[in-house]
């Protein structure tokens, strides 16, 4: 096509080689993908944070590779040109339309490029969907996400995508999520992520997540909940509490305002200060009721000026903080398995032994599996039923205890109750007092949030009391000593 042997033309024409041409197509393809992903990312309502990895790491990577090929082709070709300066038969690409071979090659090349571009466009779109998917969040980054993914699969939200709860809209959270996704990739590759993974403090406000599906004005009324436990004695004595949870509602047009869902921010607002990161200690509360009356409650220890602290507004997550990732304590998972007869309650001391075994700290899942099997076989050498207990105990361990990530009931408190974690008692403990020195946070008695309609075991459970029984603590020796259940039942006890 042109005078390729002239020295002045060497630089330009050296680009005319197959390697550079392939590089060019790769570059155009990846640039095209980059633009496409960037646009999808901008327009999508809730893009995955991991899309950023594709947009800002993978596609630019391909672009760089394409440019590298172009330069490599150029470099090799240039060397050849210089070496063969005198030689007229240069293997450069010259296209002469009068030659049938050239016409055919050009058609093939154009077709291949078109297919490549199409594939990269479809590929980018598909990868976009993949990055959005639960499989990507839960499985791709396997080790760090395993605890959250496993607990999620066993949760009532197992059909809700991770991004429904985890990625915020708006430009700021867009950029933040991108950087975060890329950061997490780097962390994973360098193996320096937190163990356990820190609970996100930047989860979208509940209005934008939970309330997209759950209607805060719904009147729930009372829910019947049954809690069955087994004592740590020889016979694994069962004990059950049947509670009528007064969930109620917060909106006067749908039912009486009151009960647990009174704190829905509809008529009333509750704000608070938490002095630790996981919000387990709440020394100050401000309540604004439907009439606009403001009341502040504080504990005796808290003397600070509230304006020096971050004041949060209470929402769904302050009670339902584990809707998708509940890490059950061994006590509770063993009780559940026993009440479902998956573990035979007739095996002497099985409750206390299993709780002790599951609470043992291991460094890997494999070690935990071995520890469970070996210890149980040693404790029950002549027990035929023990093999099935081993299987069940290992299953409990795999579903709720993750040694590699140090993730278990000890690392992630659940705020819904008050037995294993402070939960409701962070505020309803009778220790938060208003400025008048008299008024305390209401609803702090044992029959305020729920009534105990039945308790005990066997025949006792058939006796109902619609006004609520007085709580009969299962262990007579500690009855009435301290209403603060966590002192004895807490996760760290
Ligand atoms: C129903 C909403 C919801 C869904 C769906 C959901 N999460 Fe979460 N996730 C949460 C909440 C709530 C927290 C804790 C936030 C808090 O306590 O402030 C959390 C916390 C986390 C944490 C921090 C560690 C921890 O346990 O506190 C990770 C990691 C996480 N989620 C990953 C995922 C992954 C991966 C998926 C999908 C497989 C997913 N989440 C699906 C609501 C959800
Ligand atoms: C994409 C929709 C969606 C989002 C977002 C969502 N949920 Fe749900 N949630 C559901 C569905 C559907 C169910 C019912 C599951 C079932 O009964 O099978 C449910 C069930 C529940 C339950 C009852 C669980 C039980 O044990 O019966 C609670 C509590 C709950 N969600 C709280 C939350 C909270 C808190 C959030 C925000 C962090 C949230 N949900 C976000 C769809 C959603
Ligand atoms: C951040 C502090 C805080 C937390 C945590 C909290 N509450 Fe409350 N709650 C309040 C305040 C403040 C009031 C209003 C008390 C008053 O009027 O004296 C209230 C009122 C109530 C009421 C009475 C509503 C009515 O009918 O007037 C119930 C029931 C209740 N809470 C249940 C719960 C339950 C159950 C939990 C745990 C799942 C919980 N609360 C967690 C602050 C809190
Ligand atoms: C003060 C604590 C508290 C707050 C705030 C709160 N909940 Fe609840 N919610 C509860 C308790 C306690 C229950 C009873 C279930 C239980 O004990 O497991 C419940 C039950 C539910 C249920 C199950 C209802 C059913 O019919 O099965 C859903 C769904 C739910 N809450 C959603 C929400 C959503 C959405 C928000 C925020 C708009 C919210 N809750 C705010 C404490 C709270
Ligand atoms: C501020 C509200 C509130 C008050 C006050 C309260 N509870 Fe509860 N309680 C709850 C909630 C919410 C749950 C459900 C936890 C869950 O869903 O796992 C619960 C659960 C329980 C359970 C079953 C726990 C289990 O795992 O077996 C018992 C027993 C119980 N409460 C007894 C009491 C006693 C005794 C008192 C008085 C010292 C009391 N409660 C005061 C809110 C309250
Ligand atoms: C002074 C310590 C102490 C306090 C405080 C305490 N308990 Fe217990 N609780 C025990 C002991 C000890 C047992 C017997 C444990 C066993 O046999 O495994 C027990 C057993 C139980 C059981 C049945 C077995 C189990 O592990 O679930 C329940 C349910 C229970 N307590 C609920 C509560 C509640 C709710 C509160 C708070 C209102 C509370 N306890 C306060 C010491 C205490």
- Tell me if 263 CB under 6 Å of ligand 6: no
Residue 217 CA to ligand 1 centre (angstroms):
24
For residue 381, what pLDDT is reported?
96
Query: Nearest residue CA, atom 41 of ligand 5?
Result: 446
187 pLDDT above the threshold of 70: no
SS3 36: helix
For residue 6, what pLDDT is reported?
45
Residue 228 CA to ligand 6 centre (angstroms):
13
* 134 close to 157: Cβ distance less than 8 angstroms: no
Query: Closest ligand 3 atom, CA of 271?
Result: 1
List helix spans (H) across 169-275. 171-189, 210-213
**pLDDT band at 284, cuts 50/70/90?**
very high
Q: What distance in Å separates the CA atoms of residue 205 and residue 312, rounded to the nearest whole number?
A: 11
116 pLDDT above the threshold of 50: yes
Name the least confident of 76-80, 216-220, 480-484.
480-484
308 pLDDT above the threshold of 60: yes
> Whose atoms come closest to the Cα of 423: which ligand?
3
104 pLDDT above the threshold of 90: no
For residue 452, what pLDDT is reported?
95
* Sheet strand arrangement including 284-288: 312-313, 269-273, 284-288, 294-298, 433-434
Q: What distance in Å separates the CA atoms of residue 194 and residue 354, rounded to the nearest whole number?
A: 29
- Tell me if 331 CB under 6 Å of ligand 6: yes
Identify the H or E element spanning 377.
helix 365-379
**pLDDT band at 170, cuts 50/70/90?**
very low
Q: Which of 70, 86, 80 is nearest to 19 (CA)?
A: 70
> Could you read off the pLDDT of 338-361 as tens digits, one per residue?
999 999 999 999 999 999 999 999
- Tell me if 263 CB under 6 Å of ligand 5: no
Query: Nearest residue CA, atom 39 of ligand 2?
Result: 210
Query: Nearest residue CA, atom 18 of ligand 2?
Result: 156
Query: Nearest residue CA, atom 29 of ligand 6?
Result: 229
Residue with tokens 């004595």: 237
Q: Residues of the chain with pLDDT > 70: what percent? A: 83
Residue 203 CA to ligand 5 centre (angstroms):
27
SS3 262: helix
Please give the mean pLDDT across all residues of the chain.
Answer: 85
* 473 close to 487: Cβ distance less than 8 angstroms: no
Q: What distance in Å separates the CA atoms of residue 100 and residue 279, rounded to the nearest whole number?
A: 76
Identify the H or E element spanning 286.
strand 284-288
For residue 2, what pLDDT is reported?
42
List helix spans (H) across 360-417. 365-379, 386-400
Query: Nearest residue CA, atom 16 of ligand 3?
Result: 442
9 pLDDT above the threshold of 60: no
Q: Which of 331, 487, 329 is nearest to 411 (CA)?
A: 329
Chain centre to alpha carbon of residue 311 = 24
For residue 85, what pLDDT is reported?
66
- Tell me if 417 CB under 6 Å of ligand 5: yes
Query: Closest ligand 6 atom, CA of 231?
Result: 17
36 contact partners, CB below 8 Å, separation of at least 6:
121, 124, 125
The predicted model gives 460-485 an average pLDDT of 83
The predicted model gives 391-411 an average pLDDT of 96
Residue 411 has φ and ψ, to the nearest 5°, of -90, -25
List helix spans (H) across 191-329. 210-213
Residue 214 CA to ligand 2 centre (angstroms):
7
Six-digit token pair at 420? 């294993």
Between the CA of residue 252 and those of 247, 260, 319, 390, what are the distances in Å? 14, 14, 22, 52
- Tell me if 443 CB under 6 Å of ligand 3: yes
Per 3-state DSSP, the chain is made up of helix, strand and coil in percentages (nearest 5) of: 45, 10, 45
Residue 80 CA to ligand 1 centre (angstroms):
58
Q: Which of 368, 345, 346 is nearest to 357 (CA)?
A: 368
**pLDDT band at 267, cuts 50/70/90?**
confident
The predicted model gives 295-323 an average pLDDT of 93
Residues enclosing ligand 4, CB less than 6 A?
206, 210-211, 214, 216, 220, 223, 225, 245, 247, 260-261, 263-264, 314-316, 318-320, 416
Six-digit token pair at 128? 């976009």
161 pLDDT above the threshold of 90: no
Six-digit token pair at 181? 């996704």
Residue 441 CA to ligand 4 centre (angstroms):
20
> Could you read off the pLDDT of 25-48 as tens digits, one per residue?
889 888 888 888 888 777 766 555
Query: Closest ligand 2 atom, CA of 164?
Result: 5
Query: Nearest residue CA, atom 10 of ligand 5?
Result: 417
* 368 close to 408: Cβ distance less than 8 angstroms: no
* 32 close to 120: Cβ distance less than 8 angstroms: yes
Six-digit token pair at 311? 């004041």
């Amino acid at each position: 096509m042109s005078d390729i042997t002239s020295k002045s033309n060497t630089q330009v024409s050296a680009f005319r080689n197959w390697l550079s041409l392939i590089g060019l197509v790769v570059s155009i393809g990846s640039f095209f993908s980059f633009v496409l992903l960037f646009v999808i990312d901008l327009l999508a309502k809730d893009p995955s944070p991991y899309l950023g990895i594709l947009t800002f790491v993978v596609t630019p990577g391909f672009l760089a590779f394409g440019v590298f090929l172009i330069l490599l082709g150029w470099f090799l070709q240039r060397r050849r040109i210089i070496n063969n300066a005198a030689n007229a038969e240069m293997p450069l690409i010259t296209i002469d339309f009068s030659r049938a071979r050239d016409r055919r090659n050009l058609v093939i090349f154009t077709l291949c490029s078109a297919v490549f571009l199409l594939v990269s466009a479809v590929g980018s779109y598909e990868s976009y969907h993949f990055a959005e998917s639960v499989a990507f969040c839960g499985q791709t980054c396997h080790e760090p996400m395993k605890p959250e993914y496993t607990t999620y699969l066993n949760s009532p939200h197992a059909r809700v995508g991770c991004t429904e709860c985890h990625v915020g809209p708006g430009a700021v959270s867009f950029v933040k999520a991108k950087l975060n996704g890329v950061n997490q990739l780097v962390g994973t590759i360098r193996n320096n992520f937190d163990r356990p993974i820190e609970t996100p403090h930047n989860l979208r406000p509940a209005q934008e997540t939970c309330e997209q599906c759950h209607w805060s004005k719904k009147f729930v009324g009372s829910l019947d909940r049954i809690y069955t436990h087994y004592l740590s004695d020889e016979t694994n004595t069962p004990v059950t509490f049947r509670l009528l949870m007064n969930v109620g509602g917060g909106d006067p047009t749908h039912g009486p305002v009151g009960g647990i869902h009174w704190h829905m921010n509809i008529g009333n607002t509750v704000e608070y200060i938490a002095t630790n990161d996981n919000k387990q200690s709440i020394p100050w509360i401000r309540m604004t009721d439907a009439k606009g009356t403001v009341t502040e409650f504080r504990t005796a220890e808290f003397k600070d000026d509230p304006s020096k602290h971050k004041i949060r507004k209470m929402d769904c997550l302050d009670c339902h903080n584990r809707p998708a990732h509940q890490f059950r304590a061994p006590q509770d998972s063993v009780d559940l398995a026993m009440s479902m007869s998956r573990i035979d309650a007739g095996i002497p001391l099985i409750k206390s032994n299993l709780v002790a075994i599951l609470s043992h700290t291991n460094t890997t899942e494999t070690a935990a599996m071995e520890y469970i099997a070996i210890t149980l076989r040693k404790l029950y050498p002549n027990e035929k039923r023990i093999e099935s207990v081993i299987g069940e105990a290992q299953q409990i361990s795999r579903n709720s205890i993750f040694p590699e990530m140090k993730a278990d009931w000890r690392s992630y408190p659940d705020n819904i109750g008050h037995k294993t974690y402070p939960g409701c008692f962070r505020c309803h403990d009778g220790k938060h007092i208003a400025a008048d020195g008299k008024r305390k946070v209401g609803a702090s008695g044992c029959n305020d949030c729920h009534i105990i309609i039945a308790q005990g075991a066997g025949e006792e459970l058939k006796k109902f009391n619609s006004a609520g029984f007085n709580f009969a603590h299962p262990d007579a020796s500690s009855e009435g000593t301290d209403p603060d259940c966590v002192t004895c039942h807490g996760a760290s006890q």
